[in-house]
């Protein structure tokens, strides 16, 4: 398990490096955020290790300390280019990934791709005011689908136990 988790951390580090070398800082940030949201929303085991436990990666002998500064560098590059709001921090991305993951878990019984919609909404929320918002490519859940998702899960949004 430790080697599998370490592989996920290496892949995330590679995605971060790719984001840092993207020609367009916004596109680099979007690709990194999408990568992280997709991985968390579609890999429940990874999501649970990273988000559900206090010791997370360290439990598997993989600290992943290099990811924080690398994500911060991606965010700083986007901020310096003026494509994100100046007060958005790298740690905000981690919180937004958590939010997208929670919504993905909530709606999984109804629509396993709905995480994309909330990822796009989050990106539009952090984008600088002079940049046009990105289109939403996934439709919202209908009221019936919200009710179906609520009936399938423990509540409106699952509470993660630590």
- pLDDT band at residue 156, thresholds of 50, 70 and 90? very low
141 backbone dihedrals φ, ψ, rounded to 5°:
-70, 145
> What is the model's pTM?
0.77
pLDDT tens for each residue of 56-86: 555 544 445 667 889 999 999 999 999 999 9
122-142: per-residue pLDDT in tens? Answer: 999 999 987 777 788 888 888
Please count the CA atoms within 13 angstroms of the CA of 21 that sit on its side-chain side.
6
Domains of the chain by residue range: 2-152
Q: Residue 92: which of 57, 122, 49, 51 has the closest Cα?
A: 122
CATH number 2.30.30 is the correct assignment for the domain at 2-152 = no
d(CA 67, CA 110): 32
């Amino acid at each position: 398990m430790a080697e599998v988790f370490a592989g996920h951390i290496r892949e995330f580090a590679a995605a971060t490096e790719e984001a840092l070398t993207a020609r367009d800082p916004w596109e680099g940030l979007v690709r990194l955020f999408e990568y992280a949201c997709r991985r968390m929303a579609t890999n429940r085991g990874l999501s649970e290790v990273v988000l559900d436990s206090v010791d997370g990666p360290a439990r598997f002998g993989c600290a992943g300390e290099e990811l924080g500064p690398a994500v911060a560098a991606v965010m700083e590059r986007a901020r310096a280019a003026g494509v994100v709001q100046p007060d958005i921090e790298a740690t905000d991305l981690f919180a937004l990934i958590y939010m997208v993951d929670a919504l993905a878990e909530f709606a999984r019984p109804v629509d396993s791709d709905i995480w994309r919609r909330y990822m796009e909404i989050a990106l539009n929320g952090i984008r600088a005011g002079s940049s046009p918002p990105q289109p939403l490519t996934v439709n919202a859940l209908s009221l019936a689908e919200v009710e179906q998702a609520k009936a399938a899960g423990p509540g409106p949004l699952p509470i993660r136990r630590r």
